[in-house]
Amino acid sequence: MNFGTGANIDEQFRRLGQLRPDAPKMCSEFWSGWFDKWGAQHETRPAKDMVEGMDEMLSKGISFSLYMTHGGTSFGHWAGANSPGFAPDVIGNSAR
């Protein structure tokens, strides 16, 4: 599963629990924020929300990997873009 701060963690794993009730749970990309787009407002999320999500997963025995907790790169102009509009991504996630 992949999700970020503020997600309803039980809901994220609900369907997996139905299909594989004995499988270990892991959030392979726990996002602390989201991508910035060229010309848009800088994306940030409170660090408190990230810590609360990590604490909840730890209390429920869920493993997780923190996805780009600071910065990112556009090295070589490979950052990509999202649609609609294909606004270029300029930086990775960030918590404040």
| 37-84 residue pLDDT tens | 778 888 888 889 999 999 999 999 999 998 865 555 555 556 667 666
- For 1-58, the three-class secondary structure string (H helix, E strand, C coil) is CEEECCCCHHHHHHHHHHHCCCCCCEEEEEECCCCEECCCCCCCECHHHHHHHHHHHH
Better pLDDT: 32 or 80: 32
- What is the number of other CB atoms lying within 10 angstroms of the CB of residue 65? 10
Domain ranges of the chain: 37-73+85-96
Give the global pTM. Answer: 0.74
Q: Are 1 and 27 in contact (CB under 8 A)?
A: yes
